[in-house]
């Protein structure tokens, strides 16, 4: 994208020089004058583009970009208006949020069974919870160790849950 920002003004200078050749004359002095003029114009266009597209200021916290964690989602993203509503992922994130906030494991399991549709009727839902918790535990191990630990706890809670 940066090459385009450099190439476009230069192509613009060449275009202007070729189309206005008759107006500016054919002598070498006219060429240099037009080159300086159109070069300055091209630099102005380039800097205008850098300001408009933000290419100069790269300190927009790009290195701090990350996905929201379970606590960031909070209760707001967990309500009926959320896109995650009634999904297994939502239930797992909600359980992780509770575990990070030191809610008792039996309460977390109780909430999880209410939040996962057909938790007891469809065993694949329970397996999906285990797989999501395992995946999050692996992926978050370095980035957010406390949430990775909560994911491992959740995985073990669901695996060892008595269903009878």
Using the 8-state DSSP alphabet, how is residue 62 labeled? G
Give the pLDDT of residue 49. 66
Termini Cα distance of the chain: 60
Task: State the DSSP H helix or E strand holding residue 133, giving kind and residue range, or none if neither.
Answer: helix 123-139
Distance CA 37, CA 13 (A): 9
**pLDDT at 134 > cutoff 90:** yes
Mean pLDDT of the chain: 75
**Considering the chain, what percentage of its residues have pLDDT values greater than 90?**
20
User: In which element (H, E) is residue 47 found?
Assistant: helix 28-53
Q: Where are the domains of the chain?
A: 2-63, 70-159
Least confident of 52-66, 74-88, 143-157: 52-66
Long-range contacts of 99-108 (CB under 8 A, 24+ apart): 99/150, 99/153, 99/154, 100/70, 100/71, 100/146, 100/147, 100/150, 101/71, 105/153, 105/157, 108/154, 108/157
Query: What is the tens place of the pLDDT at every residue in 2-33?
Result: 566 666 666 766 676 666 655 555 665 666 77
Give yes or no for residue 100 having a pLDDT over 60. yes
CB distance 23 to 33 below 8 Å: no
């Amino acid at each position: 994208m940066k090459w385009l920002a450099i190439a476009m003004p230069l192509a613009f200078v060449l275009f202007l020089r070729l189309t206005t050749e008759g107006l500016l004359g054919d002598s070498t002095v006219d060429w240099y004058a037009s080159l300086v003029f159109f070069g300055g114009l091209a630099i102005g266009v380039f800097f205008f583009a850098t300001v408009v597209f933000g290419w100069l200021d790269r300190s927009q916290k790009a290195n701090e970009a990350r996905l929201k964690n379970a606590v960031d989602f909070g209760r707001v993203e967990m309500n009926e208006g959320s896109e995650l509503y009634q999904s297994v992922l939502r239930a797992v994130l909600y359980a992780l949020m509770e575990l990070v906030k030191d809610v008792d494991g039996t309460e977390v399991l109780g909430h999880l069974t209410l939040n996962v549709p057909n938790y007891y009727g469809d065993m694949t839902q329970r397996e999906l919870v285990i797989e999501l918790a395992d995946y999050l535990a692996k992926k978050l191990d370095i980035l957010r160790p406390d949430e990775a630990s909560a994911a491992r706890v959740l995985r073990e809670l669901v695996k060892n849950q008595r269903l009878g």
